Structure 1
């Protein structure tokens, strides 16, 4: 018997994000009921899932598992189908009484869903999960097959880029006032760009610059905005191009460690000037003036100062709200994209390791670096 949905396009050209309605708890109960029935199926007459291309996968307990949808709510789970030949490859998601191929989950038939759209509905949360956890964390993870990224929090602020009926990129933000982690009461003192990703086939199209600009425009009332530390060398190149294009943002963008008080911030534009001046030129090939010694001295003394701008004031007592920073990575500036797990330098915060999507997991508090071929 072929499982409903079995790898075929959604009926009537409607996709999951267009049709998903109802109580998420009811949908989970439905998935749990289906799972119990699946376990009772006779091995001689199993359900099968048709992979696009013709191959069929037998559905049994060895390749079906539940994973948490949200980082802070382990009781809310999704039922996933993994490839029997590679348990780290997810083939489909079970929702609304059918299996949805991963590529169908990130598609839409709604023409109004175009451009950067704030994640609000439950269906959009599912799309964000698939982009982050499955596509970004597993399917387009290159050699990083032993690692994946944690799901987002249930209320985490994120935007998805929709193009040609498909979710092609996203970025997430730790809001000012959000909790830095689950073990302390510290909160972020400024909005922080935490995760940004562009799908492989949509890179080199300026989406990274577009999302970085949208992030800055979304917090126009803030004097300071953060990018999660550490920032890779290639990410700094992207920031350099962005800040040269939008010089009004030079005094607002900071590389920050949580929670982001003034002792945990470095102005990105000043750091670019300092580091590139030591080589006499940037990797992009043009001259950067060396900052004055007075600028460096004031920075070393803990006074935030930008040449040509002056001192930047800030309130170190501001309160904030969300959870642990995860990662940031990027493509080279000529590609005009910010990408994680895409090649070049790969930086991970909040990274966990496991043997399979259904295996045991363990949070890692330390930052890790991985160089991808």
Structure 2
């Protein structure tokens, strides 16, 4: 008997930073109706006043089990790897409005990798692309010794950034990310948008830092997780897959005709518009997980667009400040970064977050 194991919530090592505005409902499914009645579980939490789980029936459970069975077969045929577990995830804030309802697949336990289906709407994907296209700059990497952005042949994409809460769409997505990951909004770095084309790639790397400079307390400490959102679908055989070369994969059935050569090792995820991949750079005990090594396979046809949100152990940029207006920098490191030439090397980020230091604006900050 093939069963769908329970998937309750994303595991996170720092329990003290869980957000208190999340309502979660989980549906488990078995492929046999006689087991169905005992496989439903709705969560009710005293932290969420007024939220109640729904009452399930055997009929609806049987339908859900049948649907999951069909999804399993489609997954094996198109994805090449049987997921470790799967479930339906429903998120809603204190207002009672559902902010995300979709299937979540755990693809790997080492490293911990989860796939959220349809995490972004088509409209959100199109908005992020259209508002990024004119701002794209050649991507850079962070120098571990200086913290400076430098060009690299390892990363050949083009990218830009959205500052936190820059517009209503970005703000809504950031809130959804906080609810889905259970990591507060202010722990996230600015959202990065990347475009890959004409063989552009990002070689396998880890998102966590090895140096002390980039994980200082005022920068939020270490990166603990990454949410990678796909804004466009890359056709079969055209590359652009996200690959975790050191992930443990069972029941590998990948067809070389629909996957690029780069994606035939470890765990690979196809770039599908609206989907999102969450993976952890740390193990449950808080130690770094070298198996979180990942990369973007070369994109040979069309364009691959993605949005990345790196999540820190603490508030990025230090404790949350009071609302500000006028001419100011959002990060205390802006003057130092500007002195190192970052306004020209990384204008997409710097001219949004370091407006004063980069000379984008003049005049004093107002209270």
Using the size of structure 1 for normalisation, the TM-score is 0.27
Greater RCO structure (CA 8 Å; 6+ sep): 2
